[in-house]
Amino acid sequence: MAKGDVRNQAPPTPRRPARPAAPRPLPGGASRPAIAGKTRPALPPGPIPAVPAATRIRVVSGPNLDLLGLREPEIYGTATLLDLHAELTSIGAARGIELECLQSNHEGDLVTWVAHAGREGFDGVVLNAGALTHTSIALLDAVRASGLPVVEVHLSNPEAREEYRRRSMIAEACVGKVTGFGPASYALGLLALVDRLRGGAELRTSSNAGRRGGV
């Protein structure tokens, strides 16, 4: 074969790239820090904790309560029902309470709203049934059928008024009753109900805050 003829020669073997040298151990067996951006932070062991769901409360008001602020203000005050609902919503937002505030002059609406509250995802009911408090067996049955804790509330104190207002048909099925404090009856009933649902934590927290504030 002539000098310089490479037709029958095997192609040259490609060289493998040199491997990077292993890092030298640090004195004392210490490990080198990881390069930023090259590793992910380790997740904590166990399942990721779920975000606690808000406590859901349905607030139901009965006949003539849409006239608050106009009807007998010397008894029921000058605040409107919208004012009352806004105050309750503010209280709820500060405490992780989700509210639905409803009012109707029709007994069937109240029966449906109370009886179906549990099936619709609510944890309890604050109920001012108005004059139906003294007459409605259907509403008593709805409170029982709901399977939820229900707190009866009234702006005035029925026991201090006419004889026919002193009997509550729904009281025996409710977990408690707040009366005579005007619009604050709703707020007190709401806090007491949530306190019951949360195992006494709500009012205990409020009491501690009051002591810290010097109340």
**Marked catalytic residue, from 76, 116, 134, 186:** 76
**CA 161 – CA 165 distance, rounded (Å):** 7
Q: What is the DSSP code (8-state) at residue 166? A: S
**Marked catalytic residue, from 134, 154, 164, 186:** 154
Judge contact between 184 and 157, C-beta under 8 A.
no
**CA 155 – CA 74 distance, rounded (Å):** 11
Please compute Rg for the chain using Cα positions. Answer: 35
**CA 206 – CA 61 distance, rounded (Å):** 26
- Is 154 a residue of the active site? yes
Sheet (strand 97-103) strand order: 97-103, 55-61, 124-128, 150-154, 176-179
Closest CA to 171 of 156, 155, 192, 150: 150
Judge contact between 56 and 120, C-beta under 8 A.
no
- Is 134 a residue of the active site? no
Active site residues: 76, 154
